[in-house]
């Protein structure tokens, strides 16, 4: 089973799940032992396919650091914190976390898009 480690120790994911914001972006950073990469990918694919069926899910994309990096980043878009919270707290999802290799450390965190004039558009 993986270990959850806050990306932001001041505002961990469990605190963020208590809010009501929409839309939100989940960024989840995974650190994994090189030998466990195939098992991480298999467990993540299973979870992503399950999440894809949940209300409020919009999209996801997994990234791997380059040059032999064993750091992965998942970027997922959800309609709202409420939708993500329901999926994240679902017993099926919690049970699936046991399928991740024990070397995996995951740091999930929710974000919102910002508007920066002439650069990017927020919600």
- What digits encode the pLDDT tens for the residues 38-47? 999 999 999 9
Residue-range domains of the chain with CATH = 3-13+20-111 (3.30.70.100)
**Mean pLDDT, residues 3-18 taken together:** 97
| Number of other residues whose CB lies within 10 A of the CB of residue 106 | 21
Alpha-carbon distance values, 6 to 15, 61, 110, 120 (Å): 10, 20, 11, 27
Q: How far apart are CA 54 and CA 72, in angstroms?
A: 23
| pTM recorded for the entire structure | 0.94
At 122 the pLDDT is: 81
At 92 the pLDDT is: 96
| Number of other residues whose CB lies within 10 A of the CB of residue 84 | 28
Q: How confident is the model at residue 120 (pLDDT cuts 50, 70, 90)?
A: very high
3-state SS, 16-64, equals HCCCCCCCEEEEEEEECCHHHHHHHHHHHHHHHHHHHCCCCEEEEEEEE
Tokens 């508007």 identify what position?
A: 115
At 35 the pLDDT is: 98
At 123 the pLDDT is: 74
Radius of gyration of the chain (CA): 15
């Amino acid at each position: 089973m993986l270990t959850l480690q806050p990306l932001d120790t001041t505002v961990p994911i469990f605190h963020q799940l208590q809010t009501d914001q929409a839309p939100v972006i989940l960024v989840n950073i995974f650190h994994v032992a090189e030998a466990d990469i195939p098992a991480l990918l298999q467990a993540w694919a299973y979870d992503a396919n399950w999440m894809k069926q949940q209300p409020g899910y919009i999209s996801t994309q997994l990234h791997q650091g380059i040059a032999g990096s064993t750091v992965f980043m998942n970027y997922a878009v959800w309609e709202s914190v409420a939708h993500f919270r329901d999926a994240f707290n679902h017993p099926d999802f919690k049970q699936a976390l046991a399928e991740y290799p024990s070397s995996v450390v995951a740091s999930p965190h929710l974000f919102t898009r910002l508007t920066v004039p002439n650069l990017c558009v927020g919600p």
